[in-house]
Structures are given as C-alpha cells and as structure tokens.
Amino acid sequence: MIRIHGYKTGKLIAVGGTAEVFEGIKESDGSRVAIKVLNETYSNDPIIKQRLLREAHIIGQNEHRGLVRIFRYGTQNNRLYMVMEYMGGGSLENYRELSRRFRLKTMLQICDGIRFIHSKGIIHRDLKPSNILFGDDGLPRLVDFGISLFRNEDFTRLTHTHLVMGTLAYMSPEQQNAPQHVDHRSDIYSLGVILYELFTHQKPTGRFKDPSELVPSFPTNLEKCILKCLEEDPKDRYQEVGQLQQDLIELWESGLFDDGSEESSIPRSFDDRIGIWIQHWERGTSKEKMIAKEHFMENVQQQDTARLMELALKGNDNLRLLIFPAFGKLSSKKAVDLLIQYLGNPLFTRDICEALGSIGDASVLPSLIKLAKMGNAFSDSALMPIAKLGEEKHLKHILPYLKHRRFSERKAAVLALDTPKAKRYLKDLKKAMKKETETEIRNKLYALINRLELL
C-alpha cells in the first residue's frame, strides 16, 4: 500500500482500468479524502502516466463545484497518485434508488459542470453514470478526466495505447468511428444516453426505440430533449450544453415528476430547494440571475444559515451578492460577524445594511454609526438600520444627512427619521424643512413634523 506524507491510506474503495482508489485521512485535521493511485501494471507506461498527470494538473487548476476537487498529486515509489475530494454519496449508477425528480435535478446540475469544462476547451469523452459521483453535500461531481481532450492538444500523442478510449455504450457515433474529429457535441450525445437510461432503464443501443415506446405516458418535452441529444449528426444536436440545461430547467420549473406523492412530499434538501438556483446565479445571464435570485429567496430557510455562511466565506463576490440579503430574510444572528466583516465593501454595503436592520441585533450599531460618519457614496445605507436598532440618542448621527448636498441622502435621512424616537429632534427637522429646496423632501418633512407633534 502506498504511503503519502500527511495522509493515512485506508481501505480500497474502487478499481478502474488503470488506477485504484483508496479511502484516506488527512492527518492534520482528520478529514476524509480519496487517494487515486496508478496501478503498478502501468507504472512504467509513459502514456498512461502522462494522462494521469495532465488530469491532475489541469483539473486541479480549474476548480468548480461540479468537478471533483484535486488537492495534491505527485509520485511515490514510482507510482503516480492524486489526493482528491472524498465522494461519500455514491454514484449516479445507482439511479434506480433515486426519485425521478432527483434524477432530473442531478442532470441539470451536472450540465453546469460540463458547461464549465467546455468553456475551458475540455471534452470529457467518458461521461457515464459511474463517473458522476455525489459529495457529502449531495451535489453531483464529474470525475475521471483520464481520456479527456484538452484545448490545442495532439490527439495521437496520448491515445497510442491498446486501451479502449471511452465506454462504448455511451460513445457518440463520431467517437466510435472517427475519434480524432470529436468536439464538445460528443459529450452532449453521452448526456443523451445517460438521460435515456435514467428514465427508461435501458440504453439506446443500435436502432433504439423512442422513450415513449418503452414507457407509457413518457413526458413529451423530456423525450424531445433526449432525442435531440442523440441525433447521429452532431449538427442536429444541441450545439451547447447550456441549451440542454435551459430546457431541463424549464421542465424542472414546470413541476415535472413532482406529483405530490409521498416521494415528492419529503422535505426537500438544501440542494433540492436552492442549490440549483445558486448554480444558475453563478453561470446565468443577467435575466437568468434575476430569476435565480427570486427563486433562491423564495426557497431559502432558517436551517440553511450555516451552509450559506460557509458558501459566502469560501465563494466569490458574485455568490456573496446572492447570499447576503438572505441573512436578513432569515434574521440570522449567527451571520452578523460575517456581514460586519464585509460592511465596508461598497459592493455589499446596501444589502448588508438592510440585512442587519432585519436581523435586529443592536450590537452592530457602532459599526453602522462608523459607516454613517464616513460620508461615502454608500454611507446613507446605514441610516435606516441605525434608526431601527438605536435609541433616541443614536438618531443624532442621522441629522447631518438632512443638510447633505445630494437629494438621495437627504431623502434617506427623512425616511430614517420617520419614527417616534425622532420627536426629540423636532427643532432640527423644522430647520431642515425651512432650508430644503426640493418640494418632495419638504413635503415629507412637513408630514413627519405633524405626526411627531401629535405624539
């Protein structure tokens, strides 16, 4: 058994054509990993070794939630190894144990990973259920890029072996007949094979039957998606994976396979409720992002707080733009420290101030007052939560904005001071009304003063 510094190698969990996979433990923190080791039979095969190295190097550099993560790779005792993310959720090969709706969700999620690799000029060439694994978070990942083609790569250099390049049942016609000419549409054909198998329990071999001939009342639009993927001529298939993904999303949104049965009434997981919308937000167009955010906010729940905090910490600014407003909706006090950490970033200031006001934790007042005193372009965002969370004495930090040169800041101050706590500052409000030149703000001040005088 191979020994890798910093890791304990455990039991054998999988055997492939050229490599073995062991369960491992990272000694520094006890986390589980998978350790893929080149079979001794191929330890002196330069082409096989080169394939494994390029997989580790290129996939390791292209991190995406739809790809298995590679933490480390190298050579030990003349055997190449990769330390990877442990995928404890099994594979899509066990699809019969999964609901049809879960299978549909998995396929539109895996499309996201394939869109990503195609954007990097990578063609997988061996898509099949056993190469789609589920992580401990329930999300599917693509694995095994050993025979993938990478941008500007010499096809013959890494295929001159006696090994079959791919899995025949999932290969496109062109991959079987002229593998040197395949492009990303070959992967789309393989996705069609997987979809066909997931929903008919058969593979489309030879002159295969349409799904509706095998399964009574097979959904027409799903059949159209599958058959379009399986067109013999690549020009007649979907030309991009994103097109297939969009059609699958529309089927999902229409409620396909969500029939109200016991299977469908089980409380939905994080990934089932909002994981799909997080993915769509990350990869979508501006219009798609708007739709994704709406569905995300509708479906987010209190128990999601810890997971969302983890994603916000590990993710990018684009993902934080989606997540931070959710903490306000959920009144997530656990997220307060994280929100304060990013309060000074203009990209998030308005969303964070609104969230802090909704959470209702007065301990954030010093941070909000500091922001208000800065007087920058987004400082007026702090006014409303100061008024909401603070006492009478804290409202004095809003008053300077009544004299601000910009209309929007003066208006924000008047709106924030629309609270019974502002009665103490009636004199300041009356002075501001006399000096105000904008009719809209002057009318708002007049109405506010009248309300406060009646208290």
> What is d(CA 178, CA 157) in angstroms, rounded to the nearest whole number?
16
Per-residue pLDDT, 152:
55
Per-residue pLDDT, 157:
43
Per-residue pLDDT, 141:
92
The reported pTM is: 0.61
Per-residue pLDDT, 238:
97
Per-residue pLDDT, 263:
44
- How high is the mean pLDDT in each 10-residue block of the chain (455 residues)? 88 85 91 90 82 80 85 88 89 87 91 91 92 84 78 50 65 87 93 97 94 94 97 96 94 83 52 79 79 88 90 89 94 93 93 95 95 91 96 96 93 95 95 94 95 91
Per-residue pLDDT, 150:
62
Q: Are 165 and 159 in contact (CB under 8 A)?
A: yes
Angle at 109 between CA 93 and CA 133, to 5 degrees: 30
Per-residue pLDDT, 315:
84
Per-residue pLDDT, 275:
81
Per-residue pLDDT, 162:
39
Which domains does the chain carry? 7-85 (3.30.200.20), 90-254 (1.10.510.10)
Per-residue pLDDT, 153:
54
Per-residue pLDDT, 423:
94
